[in-house]
Amino acid sequence: MSEQLANLEEAKTQRFLTIARLNEQLETSRNQQAELNRRIDAKRNEFQLTKSMVDNFEGFPESIKFLSNPQNWKANAFLLSDLIYVKERYRVPIENYLDNYLNYYVVEDLQEAFKAIRLLSNAQKGKANFFLLDEFKDYTPSLSVQVNALPPIDLVEVEAKYYNLF
Question: What's the rounded Cα separation, in Å, for the pair 75 and 118?
Answer: 13
Cα–Cα distances in angstroms (integers) from residue 145 to residues 33, 68, 88, 99, 153, in the given order: 52, 36, 22, 21, 11
For the chain of 166 residues, list the mean pLDDT of each consecutive stretch of 10: 86 93 95 94 87 70 79 81 89 89 92 91 90 87 72 82 81
**Alpha-carbon distance 150 to 166, whole Å?**
14
pLDDT of residue 150: 76
> What secondary structure letter does DSSP report for 60?
S
What pLDDT is stored for residue 57 in this prediction? Answer: 66
Backbone Cα Rg of the chain: 30
Which of 93, 92, 91, 158 minimizes the C-alpha distance to 131? 158
Pairing relation of β-strands 156-158 and 105-107? unpaired
3-class SS at 151? coil
End-to-end CA distance of the chain: 92
Rounded distance, CA 4 to CA 155, Å?
Answer: 77
How far apart are alpha carbons 36 and 41 in whole angstroms?
9
Q: Output the CA–CA distances (angstroms, integers) from residue 66 to 109, 114, 128, in the order listed.
A: 20, 15, 10
pLDDT value at residue 29: 95
